[in-house]
Structure 1
Amino acid sequence: MTSTVVEQLIVPIRRSVTRVFNYSRNVKGLKTHLEELSDAKTRVLHSVDEARNRSEDIEDDVGKWLASVNVITEEATRVFGDEDKANKRCFMGLFPNVTTRYKVSTKIESIAEEAVKISVRGKFDRVSYRPSRRGIEDRSHKHYEAFESRGPVLDEILEALKDDDVDLVGVYGMPGVGKTTLVKKVAGQVKAGKIFDVVVLAVVSQTPNLRKIQGEIADGPGLKLDAETDSGRADFLYERLKREPKVLVILDDIWERLELDDVGIPSGSDHRGCKILMTSRDRNVLSRGMVTKKVFWLQVLPENEAWNLFKKMAGDVVKYPDLQLVAVEVAKRCAGLPILIVTVARALKDGDLSEWKDALERLKRFDKDEMDSQVYSALELSYDSLKGEEIRSAFLLCQQYRVVER
């Protein structure tokens, strides 16, 4: 009993005395811990800067750790400011001020212990992550028009993509009929339904740029292509896509056969989980050139859907009795092509009757019996007389129809 009481009295006294006599050692130890913590902070900040240059987001615990380093450093700075008090001596300068030295030494020990804990927590395997990217559909087609006539084609494409025996699926149709819009809608649905883990889209075009196609595919899952050669980039892309269990690669606007191996896209027996969805103006490009197993024809809008879309884009002006008949004829001359319907309707939205009639006359230039005459005449809207950059751009785009269809 007596020994226990003595021990309870002596231990606190010994601890206090030790803190006083170890004051200088504690100060030196804390400074060492702070230097190590500062070096660790610098290394983490370097990693953070590199991650931000890659447009990556910083992990929450990294931000909290950096904040805790700043807090403990500020606390230590304040305590070191009390060193002068701790070094003051009493009894005619013969002895140190024990009370002050004890208080400062106690604070230093506490801060040093916390600094060690913070240092241990600062060993990160990674400081950042790639932010989830907006879906292909969300990026440009959140205002997708759900036409009833497109429903069956959309459903058939989705079913084909779910078929384990089908790896290549194609959609063909006239320029401006809405192929790109449709496949982007497909992309949104398969992602929402978790049918595919990764969905990427690349535009091939009439003059394919292999590096651009590879880059657009790599952007989907956030890959970085460091290889200098096209073949090196293709090898990396190929191996990386093979790691994904379910991948959908959308190749938009194909004009001729594209060698998938040259791009770096695994297909067939190389990767059963990788499906390729393609669009083209020419059915033969898909069925013969790309040997596509499932090919779907996207037709122009039926008259009722075309008129409803035209009214929506043109606004209340088409309700005016003196304009309505002209508006109906103009809508028909847009040949059921969404891109033309939207562009022409918007361009004439604020126009008066004379402008509408002038546009109709220009749309009537071609013989109705001529093949695709409705399309051609729609393209002949006057570049000079129509207002706005939008309609001017559409006119230039639409000139391509005549070249393609001839």
Structure 2
Amino acid sequence: MDELKSKRDDVKRMVDTAERQGMEATSQVKWWLECVAKLEDAAARINGEYQTRLQLPPDQAAGVKATYLLSQKADEMLSEATGLKEKGAFHKVADELVQVRFEEMPSVPVVGMGALLHELDACVRGSDVGVVGIYGMAGVGKTALLNKFNNEFLISSQDINVVIYIVVGKEFSLDDIQKIIGDRLGVSWENRTPKERAGVLYRVLTKMNFVLLLDDLWEPLNFRMLGIPVPKQNSKSKIIVSTRIEDVCDRMDVRRKLKIECLPWEPAWELFREKVGEHLMRASKDIRHHAQELAMKCGGLPLALITVGRAMASKHTAKEWKHAITVLKIAPWQLLGMEPCSR
């Protein structure tokens, strides 16, 4: 067992060195290390039982049968240890991690955000900004912007090794975020504590150019506890966070903040017409007048424009449109398909 443990320590040192270089132990090496650990425990139990018997007075000494059985167990352990020692000659102990470079996200057309998309692209391609913050009220289009940027801008970048998109939300946990990142990087989490996982993530991410998109943050994240290296100046790696709360950006090392405003009238009216459908343009003057009034009451908020527009797509009479305006004034949740806040 002493010889086997010495070999185990040598293999573990080689694995640790490989992991620091962004690699991961092969399945064969992991299995071998587990077998050695189990055998070590079993051998310790046999030796402990033997030492206990040596301390017994002569009148309580174990009989011949018990001694034989213990000796038989020791022989089995010896044979297994010899076999494991022979199997411990590995040609290689670790492989390069296999990561999914890019994942397309479900997206919707964005209106009036062209300039913002190009500004975000300039931040990511520039060298002076490591962490970018996007903030704005609920429904203003932060997620739609990130999805569009992920699908159409980042996929064409040849300098980025991996893009990871995570919807954090209110009920997030550090373990869940670590697991999502680890799965994308091809890292195994078996028998690792959160601190150990953070160390592995940090070692892997510092060896590559990554873009991490963290959507819908409600409070600051501790990058150090997660194992996410904060990109330094001149780094091609970037972190982009989106939140409703500007203070979250200020407390997360954000070096550039982009605020998403509600849409001005022309793009808002364009988005609303698109969701209602072509029949709106052929409708009567009364319906078009009611439609414009309804769109104005959405205040340029993309989510409201989309939801109300879709709700009105099947309405073809002026009476229905006028009623919708009244509903939006008195009980907007009925038109938007939501529950009232007082419930």
1:170 aligns with 2:133: yes
Matches within 5 A, 1:383-398: 383=334, 386=335, 391-392=336-337, 395-396=338-339
Equivalent residue number for residue 89 of structure 2: none
Percent of aligned positions that are identical: 31
1:312-346 deviation line (CA, Å, top 9, x unaligned): 11113423113211111111112212222111111
* Structure with higher helix content: 1
Equivalent residue number for residue 304 of structure 1: 266
- Residue type of the alignment partner of 2:203: E
1:359–1:381: 8 Å Cα contact kept in structure 2? Answer: no
1:170–1:286: 8 Å Cα contact kept in structure 2? Answer: yes
Equivalent residue number for residue 332 of structure 2: 381
Matches within 5 A, 1:229-268: 229-244=193-208, 246-268=209-231
Deviation at 1:175, TM superposition (A): 0.8
Number of equivalences: 245
The answer to which structure, 1 or 2, has the higher relative contact order (CA under 8 A, 6+ apart) is 2
Equivalent residue number for residue 76 of structure 2: none
Instruction: Tell me how far apart the structure 2 counterparts of residues 304 and 227 of structure 1 sit (CA, whole Å).
Output: 56
- Residue type of the alignment partner of 2:148: K
2:135–2:258: 8 Å Cα contact kept in structure 1? Answer: yes
Equivalent residue number for residue 306 of structure 2: 342
Deviation at 1:251, TM superposition (A): 1.0
1:307–1:331: 8 Å Cα contact kept in structure 2? Answer: yes
1:165-188 deviation line (CA, Å, top 9, x unaligned): 221111111111111111222223
Instruction: Tell me how far apart the structure 1 counterparts of residues 234 and 119 of structure 2 sit (CA, whole Å).
Output: 23
Deviation at 1:352, TM superposition (A): 4.2
Deviation at 1:308, TM superposition (A): 0.8
Instruction: Tell me how far apart the structure 2 counterparts of residues 347 and 218 of structure 1 sit (CA, whole Å).
Output: 41
Instruction: Tell me how far apart the structure 1 counterparts of residues 184 and 300 of structure 2 sit (CA, whole Å).
Output: 32
Tell me, which stretches of 5 or more residues in structure 1 are unaligned?
1-46, 48-128, 366-379
2:127–2:234: 8 Å Cα contact kept in structure 1? Answer: no
1:310–1:341: 8 Å Cα contact kept in structure 2? Answer: yes
1:318 aligns with 2:280: yes
Match among 318, 328, 332 for residue 363 of structure 1? 328
Instruction: Tell me how far apart the structure 2 counterparts of residues 198 and 173 of structure 1 sit (CA, whole Å).
Output: 27
1:140 aligns with 2:75: no
1:146-178 deviation line (CA, Å, top 9, x unaligned): x3x322221221111222222111111111111
2:139–2:302: 8 Å Cα contact kept in structure 1? Answer: yes
Instruction: Tell me how far apart the structure 2 counterparts of residues 315 and 227 of structure 1 sit (CA, whole Å).
Output: 55
SS at match of 1:350: coil
1:215 aligns with 2:176: no
CA shift in 2, pair 1:215/1:335, >3 Å? farther
Q: Which runs of 4+ in 1 moved over 6 A?
A: none
1:310–1:342: 8 Å Cα contact kept in structure 2? Answer: yes
Instruction: Tell me how far apart the structure 2 counterparts of residues 324 and 305 of structure 1 sit (CA, whole Å).
Output: 16
Deviation at 1:269, TM superposition (A): 4.7
Equivalent residue number for residue 328 of structure 1: 292
1:172-205 deviation line (CA, Å, top 9, x unaligned): 1111111111122222312213242211011222
1:249–1:276: 8 Å Cα contact kept in structure 2? Answer: yes
Deviation at 1:235, TM superposition (A): 2.1
Equivalent residue number for residue 160 of structure 1: 123
SS at match of 1:296: strand
1:365-384 deviation line (CA, Å, top 9, x unaligned): 4xxxxxxxxxxxxxx4243x
Coordinate RMSD, CA, aligned: 2.9
1:46-100 deviation line (CA, Å, top 9, x unaligned): x9xxxxxxxxxxxxxxxxxxxxxxxxxxxxxxxxxxxxxxxxxxxxxxxxxxxxx
Matches within 5 A, 1:92-103: none
Matches within 5 A, 1:44-193: 135-136=102-103, 138-141=104-107, 143-145=108-110, 147=111, 149-188=112-151, 189-193=153-157
Instruction: Tell me how far apart the structure 2 counterparts of residues 270 and 357 of structure 1 sit (CA, whole Å).
Output: 56
Deviation at 1:271, TM superposition (A): 10
1:240-295 deviation line (CA, Å, top 9, x unaligned): 22221x100111111222101122211145994431101111222202x1131100
- Residue type of the alignment partner of 1:294: R
Instruction: Tell me how far apart the structure 2 counterparts of residues 359 and 217 of structure 1 sit (CA, whole Å).
Output: 45
Please identify the structure whose Cα radius of gyration is greater. Answer: 1
CA shift in 2, pair 1:257/1:311, >3 Å? same
Tell me, which stretches of 5 or more residues in structure 2 are unaligned?
1-26, 28-96
